[in-house]
């Protein structure tokens, strides 16, 4: 994760895509804008999933494949696109982490431990 954080720090600086830090109002607008962009990317993952399910139905309805076989083919067809959308999401999440100087390795494993050992595992 550290490598990705460092890569994106410089990548986003080179592209002039950093969260603005000049004053409160500008930073607030920049954070909100980036949050909207992240939300859009999350929706794009849903769109890829929808494509997989539609493709599965189409292939299965054509008659030669059962649903599970059709699903395997559709998953393979959209795998690259899903990787791209997941990467878009990671880029925005890491941008926020970098803005707050959060070490995501530390934060991630601390959070996963918290989840593992908490009493109520439903949330
Ligand atoms: Mg995208």
pLDDT digits (tens, 9 = 90+) for 76-122: 999 999 999 999 999 999 999 999 999 999 999 999 999 999 876 66
Ligand 1 midpoint to CA 44 (Å): 6
- With respect to residue 88, please indicate whether it lies within any of the assigned structural domains: yes
pLDDT in tens, 24-58: 999 999 999 999 999 999 999 999 999 999 999 99
Q: Which of 15-24, 67-76, 112-121 has the highest mean pLDDT?
A: 67-76
In the prediction, which pLDDT does 121 show?
Answer: 65
Quote the CA–CA distance of 3 and 36 in Å, as a whole number.
25
- Structural domain of 71: 2-117
Residue 6, pLDDT > 90, answer yes
Cα–Cα distance list, 6 to 12, 101, 104 (Å): 10, 11, 11
- With respect to residue 104, please indicate whether it lies within any of the assigned structural domains: yes
Ligand 1 midpoint to CA 20 (Å): 22
Closest CA relative to residue 56, chosen from 75, 43, 81: 75
Neighbours of ion ligand 1 (CB under 5 A): 41, 44, 85, 88
Quote the CA–CA distance of 101 and 120 in Å, as a whole number.
30
In the prediction, which pLDDT does 63 show?
Answer: 81
CATH of the domain at 104: 1.10.287
In the prediction, which pLDDT does 123 show?
Answer: 56
Ligand 1 midpoint to CA 41 (Å): 5
| Beta carbons of 78 and 51 less than 8 angstroms apart | yes
- With respect to residue 123, please indicate whether it lies within any of the assigned structural domains: no
- With respect to residue 122, please indicate whether it lies within any of the assigned structural domains: no
Domain count, the chain: 1
| Beta carbons of 44 and 87 less than 8 angstroms apart | no
- With respect to residue 96, please indicate whether it lies within any of the assigned structural domains: yes
């Amino acid at each position: 994760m550290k490598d990705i954080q460092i890569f994106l720090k410089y990548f986003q600086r080179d592209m002039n895509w950093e969260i603005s830090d000049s004053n409160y109002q500008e930073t607030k607008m920049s954070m909100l804008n980036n949050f909207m962009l992240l939300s859009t990317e999350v929706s794009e993952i849903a769109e890829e999933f929808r494509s997989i399910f539609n493709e599965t139905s189409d292939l299965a309805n054509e008659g030669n494949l059962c649903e599970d076989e059709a699903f395997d083919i559709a998953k393979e067809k959209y795998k690259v696109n899903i990787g791209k959308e997941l990467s878009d999401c990671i880029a925005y999440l890491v941008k926020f982490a970098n803005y707050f100087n959060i070490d995501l390795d530390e934060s991630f494993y601390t959070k996963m431990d918290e989840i593992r050992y908490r009493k109520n595992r439903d949330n």
